[in-house]
Every structure is written in structure tokens, then in C-alpha cells.
A and B are shown apart, each in its own frame.
Chain A
Amino acid sequence: MGHRIGIDIGGTFTDLVLLREDGRFHVYKEDSTPDEPLLAITRGLAGLADEAGTSGAKLLRETEFCVHGQTMATNALIERSGPVIGLLATKGHRDVMYLGRGGKPERFNIHLRKPRDLVPRYLRLGIPERVGVDGSEVLSLDEDAVREAAVKLGTFGVKAVAIAYLWSILDASHEQRSAEIVREELPGVDVICSSDVLPEIREWERTSSTVLSAYIAPIIGDYLRAFEQEMRAGGLPHPPQIMQVNGGCASVPDLLARPVNAVASGPAAGPAAGAFYASNTKAPDRLIIVDMGGTSFDVCLLRDGEPVMSTEIQVADQPIGVNGVEVLSVGAGGGSIAWIDSGNSLRVGPRSAGSQPGPACYGRGGREPAVTDANLVVGRMAAGAFLGGRRSLDVGLAERAIEENIAAPLGLSVREAAAGIITLVNSNMASAIRAVSIERGIDPRDYVMVAGGGAGGLHAAELARMLSISEVLIPRSAGGLCAFGMAVTPVRHDYVRLHHCNSNEERAVAEIAKVFEALIAEGQAHLEADGFNSDEISFTRYVEGRYPGQVHNLTVPLPAGPINQDLISKLELVFHDEHERRFTYCMRDQPIQCIHWRVAATGARPAPQGRLGSGATGAKAFGQRMAYMASINEEVQTQIFRGDDLAEGDRITGPAIVEFPTTTVVVNPGDVLTVQADGSSLLTIAL
């Protein structure tokens, strides 16, 4: 067993986490270098090694897993800054991406502009060919047309070509042959087929997934190959792994076979981090993982030990299609701006002051009050404790921004207004949690909250109280939650097969067994090639289905056990229950029409239990000040602790504030903070 390293590139910082084989861990934040991301990684690794008392080369040599999460794929999509790419589509259907499912958001906003296409129309070319609904060939592939199209795309200098034909999921030969022709004509250009990226029904999602892949492939391809080379040259004994949106990681070549998996992958590490930290809580397999950073608040769930997934994730208004960790992101972060609308009502977000100019208290010219300003004004943050003391905050500027923009217009004192901003942002975050739990029939009281992000500790206990959650875990490395998740996440490959079958049909048992057998064999072979032994490999089987005649699908896990009539009955039960939980009703006399069969194959070696390094001296307050406590809606005299002083087993009863290098934890009156073996803070909420 060796060390584990997680490297997460964010907008402002590149987070590096080292989990040593003895369980001690280190977090290091390095300023990101967006133009040359590898630079920040190299510097960060040196810093991390330094912190661990070793050299960069030795560190890498002793590392077993090195997992990297990047943001350039997502950024390129949001900013539409990717390369020129082309699309080959079935003739008559080249506008699938532009037309989408139709519909326009924001019903009463007639001035809303439609986002620009990822492939401009002159580079979307229709190819005469057609496969029918039953998989038969309706029109053979016009190979000359493909060749002509490839040449045309070549003259425009495309860097990648997406190929997405109707019904290619039933017969991929037209796509595959087209890809061969394009590769012949355009050597060196990335060519990606929809039947490889997302073999699922619904052409918009499948085309989008393919186009997104083609759009980012040239960008992340070069980068990831360079990253791998750099790490190997630096001494890393195994190929590095790359974080995927499905919550697991994969090798560089595997990822580049389906590049769309690299999109929105950072926050997908949340469940892995949560599962690692929460092993000693009351519900280690039922977690609500929240991450509150500067601009957004992300929430996802671990339910019965599995991350809650979705196949409907969109990035930059386009569906990614593939199964990913469902992360609900709302505009509520430390930088979210408070404002008053024309009806005199207080609002917070979604606009953010970002890191430039940042909240008013940063003193970089920001004049509008942000959530961080409010926390500072009411004593929840210390002017000198931000980023481990690396940056000092200006209380006067924060007070002025709140006074001018909020307090005076509403006739409140500055501190009342600041408390109001905190209450409102808490409410917005609680709504997000409610949306993915209560409103889907999941009771948050059965769950433990894991709170990360620089601003997570300030608000977590209050969110928990609003949702009647009794335990909150704030990791020691809260500021690098996702980087930590990367360090401990398994390798994961997802497989899917389209196969219609009703659960009450006689053929069901035999056919289902056959489908899963094939998918599992594929996963087994893949993970063995990745270097895992049989006992390190596990599979989760899912069924995506509906009541016959229904249109949308619901995905449920297949219960464990061999596939027989009994298991099918259990599956029906699971489906009915889940339908009822989410939508208040089910139809128990109906069979389940199963559409997609999914297998998640994971390969994992146990990670060491985290433990605190030495240096702790025990809980002793170093000061006190007046601070606002949302649970009682007033300011009280509050004990202030330094996080680095705390040792395992220390207990602190609120009102208290604990200042860690990357986050500040607010302990409301009556709540109790207990320090865990790994240095995390477990808050028990006095409900």
C-alpha cells in the first residue's frame, strides 16, 4: 500500500491532498495557473511534499493512487471557447442539437437569448443513411457523401468530428464505417461516434453527449497526456487516474474514449469524500454532502452507500447524457451578493462577487455586500483568520456595504441586516437540500450531513437544524473536500445496454441474466486490465424502467442475488416503492417495462483510516467575542478556538467558533463539537 494523492483544479486554487499510507494527511493550496495548469500542479506537489517532510520525487515514487480532477472541459463548454468541430448526422436531422426538445426557458422573458451552438450549422452535415426502429437498414450508408463531408470539414480545419446517426444504438455499422472514412481523410483529428459514447435511446441526449465529447477531446486530450507524462517522469509508478462525472476515476486512455465523462467531474468526488469521513457517524451510508465555496453551494446524496445518480445532467444548457453523480448547484456562496429588489424585498444571489473584486471586505473595490461580509460583520469570521491568516479582511468596508445597500433602505441596523443575509442564504441552501431529499420522498432526519468548502463550516450546523439533521461532520480538510474525495474514490466504469423487456414476461429471467452476464464480464476484464484483483472488484446492477405506457424512466438498483424469478419479484417491489416515494403513487398491479440495463463496475483497494498528526494541545479557547448565532437569532458572547490545537476526543459546547486554516466552524448554543480520530469535527445538533 502506498500514498494517495488527489489533485483538484479550481478557479482560484489548485487543491492537493495527500493521504499517507499511515493515515496522516496533508492539504496544500496553490494558486491556479489557468493558462498552464500543469505549472500549478508541479508547484503544488513540491509544496505538498514539503509539508509532508519529503521530496517531490520520493512522494510520487511512494504513491499508489494519484487522481486528478480538471475543470477545463467544463470551462470550455461554459465559455464556448473550444475548437472548431464538425458533426455528421442522418440527412434531414442535422439540427438535433439546435432544436433540442424545443421549448424556451423563462416563460415571461422575451428578451432571453439562445446560447450559441457548439457546432455551427455550416459544419453540421447530413449524410444519406438510415437505420429503422427495428434495427433494419432503411437506407444504406452513402460512403461518398461521408468522404465528401470529411473533406469539407477538413478545409475548415476542424479539430474533431462527432458522428451521431439515428438508431445507431441498434446498428452501429453506419457510424463505425463513417468514422473509418473520416479518419482516412482527416488523420490526427479526433473522431467520436455516438454509439460508443452513449449507447442509449433519445437522439438529442446521445448527439449532445457525442458533440460535447468531440468539443473537449482536443483540449483535454493534449492536457491529460502531458499530465500523465509529467507524473510518470516525476516518478509515479502507476498511470495516474482521472476523475469522472460518475463519481469514480479512470485511466487517461479510458477517459479519452468517452471524454464527456470529464465534464462536471470535480463536485462528483463529494460522495467519495463523504463516505470516507463519515464511517464513524450514525449513518455512514446515508449522507447529505454539501460544499459551500465562493460562488455556489453544491449538494449531493449518498443513499444506501451509493451516490444518487442522474442521466439528466446538463452543462452549459446541453445534456451530457451519461450517468453522473447528481449535484444540485445553487448560487449561494461566500461571494453571493445581497440586494434589494424593486419591491423592497431582500434577496441573496445568484450573482456573485467572485474572487475579483470579491466581497467588499476583500478591499479590492467591491462595493456590494456579500455573504462573507455579513459573516464578518456579526463576528462569525475573524478579520485575520481568513485563509489561515494569508489574507486580512476589512470589517469597515463590509459594514459600509451592508449599511448603504441593505440596512438603510430596509430601516435595519447593520448587524440586523447582516443577520438577515445569513438567514436568507441559509434558507436558500436549505431549499436546495430539501429539493433533493424531502421533495423526493427522502427524510433528511435519517441522514448525516458532511459539510465542506471554505464557507461550509460557517453555515452547516444551521442548515442541519433547519432540516432536523442531528449530526454534521466537518472534515479537517473541508477546504479541499473534493480533492480528498478524489484521493479515495474507486476506479469506476459504467456499462449500459438497451434491451426492452417486461418484468412479467417469461423470457425476462433468461434475457436479463444474459444481458448482465455480458456487461459484468466486460467490466471484470476491464478492471483486471487496470490491475485489480477479483476481490477488489465489485459490481452494482441497475434497471432503468417504467410502467408500460409511461414515457419517463426511473432507475432502481437490482437487489443482490442470482437472477431468478424471485429476484425479479423483488425488483418489482423496489420499483413500486421508489415510484411511490418520489411521486406519491405506484401501480402494484403493473409490470415494469425495463429499458436500459446498467452496471457500475468499481475497483478499489481499502484506503487507510485517516488520523491526526501530532501537535495538538487540547481544546482551550484563545479568546472571545460577540457573534451571531442563527439558531437563537441573536448575538452572544462566544468562545473562540484554534482548530490546530484540537486533539481527538476534545468536546466543545456552543456557543463557540473554531478557526481552522481552510474553514471556520460555528457551533450554535447547545450544539456539541467532538473531535474525531482523523481531526474532523462532528457536530451533534441540539434539536
Chain B
Amino acid sequence: MATPMHADNMKDFDPITFSVIRNRFEAIGQEMTLAMEKTAWTSIIALARDYSCMIYDAHESGPRQVTMGDCLPIHCNSIRTLLMEVVNAFGDDIHDGDVYMSNDPYGGNTHMPDLVTAQPVFVDGKAVFWTVARGHQQDTGAIEASSIVPSAKSIFQEGIVIPPTKLIDRGRERHDIIELYLANVRYRDALHGDLRAQLGACGVARRALIGLCEQYGRDEVVRYSDGLMDYADQRASDEFRKIPDGVYEGETWSDTDGAGATDVPIRVKITKKDADIHVHYSGGPPSTGSFNATYAVMMATATTPFCYYIDPDIPQNHGVLQHITADADDNTICKAKWPAATGGATVTPSDPMHEVINIAMAQVIPDLVPAGGAHCSHGPNFSGTDPRNGEEFGTMLFNSSGGQGAAKGADGWPRFATISGMGGLRSAPVEEIELFYPIRVEQNEVETDAMGAGQWIGGPGVRTRYRPIDCGMDWHGVGEGLKNPPHGVNGGTMSPGGGIFIEHADGSRTFTSSAGYAPIKEGEVWEGVSPGGGGWGNPLDRDPELVRSDLRDEWISEETARDIFGVIVADDLERTLDAAATEARRSELRKTPRPMIEPITPAAGTWTARNMRDGDKYLEAPTARDFEEQAN
């Protein structure tokens, strides 16, 4: 067997009990995740699944990740910083039956909508674990009816800040605290329901962890939990050591900072030595809007790519995460300074901060890095008043999400929302959207030629049309990645990007950046085409039979098949491959070498320019003022 054995790390453990306890932790994490999904009230949690559930230990050095359910990496790879704040704030005052909450972006949280509830698990009078749930709330009580307001000028426009707070005190709910919270947010009943779901999930895991400790003994379970981290540490170390030591740099661009600046550079310098990695970010100036990276977001984005460079079988616990450290230059978009707004942080600059690591590492581990994936440009938030019942509504929809970047051996997946979540977000059933909100989904379908080409192709982008019915509604958009589309790697082509526009009643259209605000009036339609993922490897190396079926299925056009993939097919029913013509075409195209990374310049996306017609307008990061002026 080629794998070296490390009997040392396991010598203090019964190998059988070790595996048994490992499986139990994973099962508890999954059950916790399921409990939250099934009982949540808002579509962003129950349908989009923008939440994560985790188990942490209560180690003296601070809580450490034991296991995560089916989590979003942006959530789970960053929660230690928040739990440390809870522990620091309450110290000896943490008791059995307590539950804590926090959403403070300057207190270790990702961004304000991610409300965290954490419950210590006491066994025989001692705290040994934490059960933790982090869910994106539909509302935070911000200046506008959206959990993320790109143009927010400071944290004071983003809603109610909750530093570490005792929500349940030794089993007794603090109604005053719950009322304080609910009095400050929109949709209070639904958010109350989500909070109950979050507490329920923590409770389900607590019940199971206590059972586990009763069965094996508290201290034994803790000892094995420590052992699980050592085990993951050892397996991850072996894999990290295979990456050559060195300093690797990369650069990419964010379309926007959410407040008017465009093509904002994001840079990284990665120092890889032995089994440890240090990620250092720098970039453009801080956003005057809400696209500033919090500390937690920076930690999550820096660690996530390294988690997928290694064997996915390795448990994602502290033993892996401890190998990666990160920091960022002051006075950059990568490091928020109080009281800057941070609502957009989990997508921008998080998405480019994530991609830039893959760009930097492509030069040394091209087989392990994916091509660029669609950024969170197509998760529109709609809000307004439902004419059917007169009630306020608000929803963030991921049905129009773009594609995943291709990787060696695998085409990208569609509706990959988002890079931060590594495809963990879901889209809502069209019929549920129409039932819950006064919106008709007129189209939600794959767009031809909307992905990067390669030996492996990116997941496709989709075209989506949302029409408000018998009312107008407000649109808030976040993210970016339209003008600076997902990159191709190892010879793969970049994604063509995508766009968003409002179709007016007269047929004219207003195109916008993906971040911004616009009113959608009755009779108007919001339409978006999301970017597909970038391609991996030279398109001329793609199996011609796959290209033939891609063409027949209208993933790609005949021109793309011929000009990019060098594949020629007959004009018959089956689009039969012309092998000889294909070979000749490919030899010709091979004379032009393909770059390792494409693009290497900002603003390479052309979708919007190609798709605008005479009479159409373009607005960069629009705000309400743009439309007031228009009306006047």
C-alpha cells in the first residue's frame, strides 16, 4: 500500500470506538441540519438553505470545530471567531441550559444577517460541547427592506447589532431580549419562527450529544473528539506537504465595491511552508458601501479552497482549519474598519477573495484547482406589499444562480449558489414562489453558450424572468462577477459573464450592475442571465462526442463547437460527428496556445455590451435616487 501508516497518532485509541464516535458526530450534525430546514419559516432558510449547523467543543483554548452538517463553508469555516467572543464576554457565567445569540460583524460574525445561536452542552456539570446554528435572517431592520443593503453607509444603516447576548438563561427564555430583537426587524412572526427553528436545531444536537456522553462517558467522548482533530490534522498535513513550498501570488477584480468604484483589485500572497499556509490579502480601498470583508469572512474565504484541495473524506474539523492563517492590509476592501458597513461581505469581496486563491495556486497545483465559478450576482431580493392580502413580503431567490467552475474530470454543476457556500444554497420551487409572493416566474432555463469552454466545461448560466403581479416591488441586488467573469484555467476559456436588466412596459430596458436597487413597476419584468462557470483544460481536448451532445442539447452553439472546441458535425438528425474534419480543425486551432489563466485583465466580460440595444440604458450600482431623478 502506497499510503504511509502513522500508527502513532492512533495508539491511544481503540480503533473501533474511534470510528463509532466519528460516525455519531457526523450523524448528529446531519440531523441538526435537517431539523432546522424542516421547521424554518422564511424561504431563505427553509428553501434556500442559507444556514449552517455545527458542533464545537469547549476546549480551554476556545471552541474548536468538531463537525459540521451539510454546511456553507463561509459559515462553518469562520464561526470560531464568534464563539471566542461569546466565551470572552461571559466567562464563568456560562451555565447549563443557556443559549447565546450574536450577529455582530465586529464581534467575529460574517455579516449582520447571519444570526448565530449557540448552546453549551453540559454533562455532569461541565461544558464539553457547543451546538451552533447560523442562519441568514430575511431582515435585520436595516434602512431598506433587504437583509443586505449595498449602499449602506455604515453599520448604523444595517439594522440591529446584537453583541453576544444571553437569549435563554438556565432554561428560561428572556422574553425581554426576544422582544427587543423582534421589535427591530420586519416580518417579526416569520423571524420569530426562524429563531425557534434555530433553537430547535441546537436542542436536537444537544439531546444527541448528551446521549453519546451517557453511553461512552463524558471524558472519553471528549478524548475521542480531540483524537478526531489529531486524525484530521495528520491526514491534512500529509496532503498539504505534497504542495510545493513557496510564495504564490494572484490578482483578480471585483466588478464593484457596491458604492460606485469599479474593477476593484483583490490581491493575494500565499506563503506555503511545510504543512502550513498563510494567506495575505490586499486590494482596493475600503468600500463606502457595504462590501467590506469582516474578519470572519476573511478567515472563511482563506481556508475554504484549501479544504477542497485535500481528500474530501477528511473530516472538516479544527485539525484541518488550524493549518491556515490569514490577514489583510489595513485600509483595503479586504479588512473592514468599524463602523464601515459589511452587509455584502459574504459575497463581495468574499467571492473574488476566494477565486484569487485558486488563481494563485493554479501555477503550482493545476490539477487540484477549479476554474472560476459564478459569483453571487443573481440572488435578487424582492420586497413589497402583496396585493392579495395587504401584507409585507420579502424574499431572496437563488433560482437564477450561475454555474460552478469546471474541475479536472468534472463539468461544473448548474445553479451553483454560491462560491462562498460551495453549492450549498438551494433555489425555491417556482410554484412555491408564486404561492408565497405576488411574482410570476416567466422563465428559468439554461442559456446557450453561457459557460466557459474547456476539456471540462463550466456549469451553465440560466435566464430568469420575474414579473410582479398586480403590484410593483423593490429589487435589491448584491454581488458582482458580470464584468469580471469567472476565469478559465489550464487552457480553459473564461465565462462570457452575464447581466441583469429591467424590461420596461414599452420594451426598452435598463441594464444594471448586479449590486444595486431598482423599483420594478407593475408591467415591468426583472430579467437576468447568470454567468456560467469557467472552463478547465484546453477545449480542444474535450471528447468530441461530448461536444456533439452539448451542441445537440443547445448547451453550446454550432459556432462555439466549431470555433472553440474545433468540432464539426453533420446537419443530420443525430448531428453525427465528422471525425476527419474535426481532427483537421483541431490541428489548426492548436497552433494558438492557450493561457494558464484567462482573463488577466480587468473588465473582460462583454455580455452587457453585446446584449444592449439602441434605447437601452446602463446604471452602475443604482440607488433609489437614480429612479427618483428619472421620475422627475
Residue positions of A touching B, CB distance < 8 A: 92-96, 98-104, 106-114, 120-122, 126, 132-133, 138, 155-156, 166-167, 201-204, 341-348, 409-412, 420, 423-424, 427-428, 431, 434-435, 438-439, 547, 549-552, 554, 579, 582-585, 587
User: 1/0 per position for B199-212, CB-CB distance to A under 8 A?
Assistant: 11001100110010
Q: A102-B398, A347-B19 are in contact. List 17 more A-B contacts (CB 8 A).
A: A93-B445, A94-B445, A95-B414, A102-B425, A103-B424, A110-B404, A122-B553, A204-B429, A341-B235, A345-B22, A346-B15, A410-B7, A411-B7, A424-B20, A551-B41, A583-B200, A583-B204
**Which residues of chain A come closer than 8 Å to B521, judged between CB atoms?**
none
Task: Bits for B3-42, please: 1 = Cβ < 8 Å to A, else 0.
Answer: 1011101100001101110111001101100010111111
Instruction: Tell me the smallest distance from the CB of A128 to a CB of chain B, in Å.
Output: 12
Chain B contributes a number of interface residues (CB within 8 A of A) equal to 102
| Residue numbers in A under 8 Å from B6 (CB-CB) | 343-344
Residue of A nearest to B573 (CB): A155
Closest chain A residue, CB of each to CB of B227: A345
List the B side residues contacting A111 at CB < 8 Å: 407-410
Asked if A427 and B23 sit within 8 Å, CB to CB, the answer is: yes
A92-B465, A343-B234 known; A584 vs B445 contact (CB < 8 Å): no
Choice from B404, B430, B549, B552 contacting A104 with Cβ under 8 Å: B404
Q: Give the CA-CA distance A360 to B297 in the complex, in Å.
A: 50
Which residue on chain A has the smallest CB distance to residue B407? A110
Residue ranges of B at the interface with A (Cβ–Cβ < 8 Å): 1, 3, 5-7, 9-10, 15-16, 18-20, 22-24, 27-28, 30-31, 35, 37-43, 46-47, 49, 70-73, 189-190, 193, 196-197, 199-200, 203-204, 207-208, 211, 231-232, 234-235, 238, 307-308, 311-314, 316, 370, 398-399, 401, 404, 407-411, 413-417, 422-432, 434-435, 440-446, 462, 465, 469, 549, 552-555, 573
Q: What residues of chain B lie closer than 8 Å to A98, measured between beta carbons?
A: 414, 446
Question: Are A551 and B432 in contact, with the CB atoms below 8 A?
Answer: yes
Whole-angstrom CA separation of A585 from B441 in the bound complex: 34
Check A201 against B431 for contact (C-beta < 8 Å).
yes
B193 CB contacts on chain A under 8 angstroms: 547, 549-550, 587
Contact at A107–B424, with CB atoms within 8 Å? Answer: yes
Question: A584, B407: Cβ atoms under 8 Å?
Answer: no
Which A residues are CB-close (under 8 A) to B70?
107
The answer for the CA separation of A101 and B416 in the assembled complex, in Å, is 10
Given the complex of chains A and B, what is the CA–CA distance between A92 and B430 in angstroms?
12
B residues less than 8 Å from A344 (CB atoms)? 5-7, 9-10, 15, 231
Contact B211 A585, beta carbon cutoff 8 Å: no
Checking A121, A341, A547 against B313 with a beta-carbon cut-off of 8 angstroms, the contacting residue is: A341
A122–B41 Cα distance when bound, in Å, is 38
Q: How far is the CA of A104 from the CA of B196 in the complex (A)?
A: 27
- Is chain A's interface secondary structure helix, strand, loop, or mixed overall? loop
Cβ contact within 8 Å between A110 and B370: yes
Q: CA of A120 to CA of B549 in the docked complex: distance in angstroms?
A: 9
Contact B427 A93 (CB under 8 A): no
List, in ascending order, chain A residues with CB within 8 A of B20's CB: 423-424, 427
C-alpha spacing A96/B443, complex, angstroms: 11
The 10 closest A-B pairs by CB, nearest first: A104-B423, A102-B415, A551-B46, A92-B443, A121-B553, A109-B312, A584-B203, A427-B20, A102-B427, A133-B434
* Nearest B residue to A107, CB-CB: B422
Contact status of A102 and B238, CB under 8 A, knowing A343-B6, A583-B38: no
Contact A550/B211 with A104-B423, A424-B20 known, Cβ cut-off 8 Å: no
| Chain B residues, CB < 8 A from A583 | 35, 38-39, 197, 200, 204
The answer to whether B46 and A552 have CB atoms under 8 Å apart is yes
In the complex, how many angstroms separate the beta carbon of B136 from the nearest chain A beta carbon?
14
Closest to A430 in B: B20
Contact A439 B31 (CB under 8 A): yes
A343 touches B554 (CB 8 A): no
**A113 partner residues in chain B, CB cutoff 8 A:** 409-411
Beyond A110-B410, A424-B19, whether A343 also contacts B235 by CB under 8 A is: yes
CA distance A587 to B235 in the complex (A): 46
In the assembled complex, the CB of A198 is this many whole angstroms from the nearest CB of chain B, namely 12
CB distance from B437 to the nearest CB of A (A): 10
Residue of A nearest to B306 (CB): A108
Q: Quick one: which of A96, A348, A409 contacts B5, CB cutoff 8 A?
A: A409
State whether A102 touches B417 (Cβ < 8 A): yes
**A167 / chain B contacts, CB cutoff of 8 Å:** 431, 434
In the complex, the answer to whether A92 meets B429 with C-beta atoms within 8 Å is no
Bound-state CA distance A98–B445 (Å) is: 10
- Minimum CB–CB distance from B544 to chain A (whole Å) comes to 17
Output the nearest chain B residue to A554 by Cβ-Cβ distance: B38
- Is B553 within 8 A of A120, CB to CB? yes
- Closest approach, in angstroms, between the C-beta of A242 and any C-beta of chain B? 31
Given known pairs A95-B445, A549-B190, A585-B199, the reply for A342 and B235 (CB within 8 Å) is yes
A99 touches B414 (CB 8 A): yes
Bound-complex Cα distance A126 to B23 (A): 45
How far does the alpha carbon of A299 sit from the alpha carbon of B17 in the complex, in Å?
Answer: 23
Chain A residue at smallest Cβ distance from B437: A133
B231 contacts which of A101, A345, A434 (Cβ < 8 Å)?
A345
- Nearest A residue to B15 by beta-carbon distance? A346
Q: How far is the CA of A256 from the CA of B199 in the complex (A)?
A: 45
Q: Which residue of B lies closest to A90 (CB)?
A: B430
A423 and B308 CA atoms in complex are apart in Å by 31
List A contacts of B207 (CB < 8 A).
584
Note all chain A residues with C-beta closer than 8 A to B411.
113-114
Chain B residues with CB under 8 Å of A203's CB are 429-431
Which residue of B is nearest A633, CB measured? B16
Tell which of A104, A126, A550, A554 touches B416, judged by Cβ atoms closer than 8 Å. Answer: A104
A152 to B, closest residue via Cβ: B573
Most buried by B among A101, A113, A121, A132: A101
> In the complex, what distance in Å separates the CA atom of A201 from the CA atom of B3?
51
23 A/B residue pairs, CB under 8 Å, sorted by A: A93-B430, A93-B445, A96-B430, A102-B415, A111-B410, A113-B409, A114-B411, A132-B469, A133-B434, A156-B573, A167-B431, A343-B9, A344-B6, A344-B10, A411-B7, A428-B23, A431-B27, A438-B211, A549-B189, A549-B193, A551-B41, A583-B204, A585-B196
Chain B residues near A346: list those with CB within 8 A. Answer: 15-16, 18-19
Asked, given contacts A92-B442, A424-B19, A438-B211, whether A122 binds B552 with beta carbons under 8 Å apart, the answer is yes
User: CA A312 – CA B289 in complex, angstroms?
Assistant: 42
Asked if residues B208 and A550 are in contact (CB atoms below 8 Å), the reply is: no
Q: Which of B15, B189, B307 sits near A345, CB closer than 8 Å?
A: B15
Q: In the complex, what residue of chain B is closest to A120 when comparing beta carbons?
A: B553
- Residues on A with C-beta less than 8 A from B431 are 133, 166-167, 201-203
- Complex: chain A residue closest to B70, CB-CB: A107
Q: Tell me, in angstroms, the Cα distance from A126 to B444 when the chains sit together.
A: 12
B410 and A112 contacting across the interface, CB-CB below 8 Å:
yes
Chain B residues with Cβ under 8 A from A423's Cβ? 16, 20
A540 to B425 alpha-carbon distance, docked (Å):
37
What are the residues of chain B within 8 A of A204 when measuring CB–CB?
Answer: 429
Q: State which of A343, A549, A582 has its C-beta within 8 Å of the C-beta of B232.
A: A343
Taking the closest CB of chain B, its distance from the CB of A409, in whole angstroms, is 6
For residue A204, which residue of chain B has the nearest CB?
B429
Q: Which of B5, B18, B43 is close to A551, meaning CB atoms less than 8 Å apart? A: B43
Taking each of B5, B6, B40, B203, which has the highest tally of chain A beta carbons within 10 Å of its own beta carbon? B5
With A102-B399, A102-B401, A584-B200: A109-B446 Cβ-Cβ less than 8 Å: no
| Cα distance, A93 to B440, chains bound together (Å) | 12
From known contacts A111-B409, A427-B23, A435-B27, infer whether A345 and B18 are also in contact, taking CB-CB under 8 Å: yes
CB pair A584 B41 closer than 8 Å = no
Assess the A582–B35 pair: CB atoms within 8 A. yes
Min CB distance A439 to B, Å, is 4
**Chain B residues with CB below 8 A from A96, complex form:** 430
- Please judge, given known A-B contacts A103-B423, A122-B553, whether A345 and B19 are in contact too, CB under 8 Å: yes
Q: Give Cα A66 to B370, complex, Å.
A: 55
Contact call B40/A551, Cβ cutoff below 8 A: yes
Q: Which residues of A contact B555 (CB under 8 A)?
A: 121
Across the interface, do B429 and A101 meet the contact criterion of CB distance under 8 Å? yes
In the complex, what residues of A have CB within 8 A of residue B37's CB?
A: 552
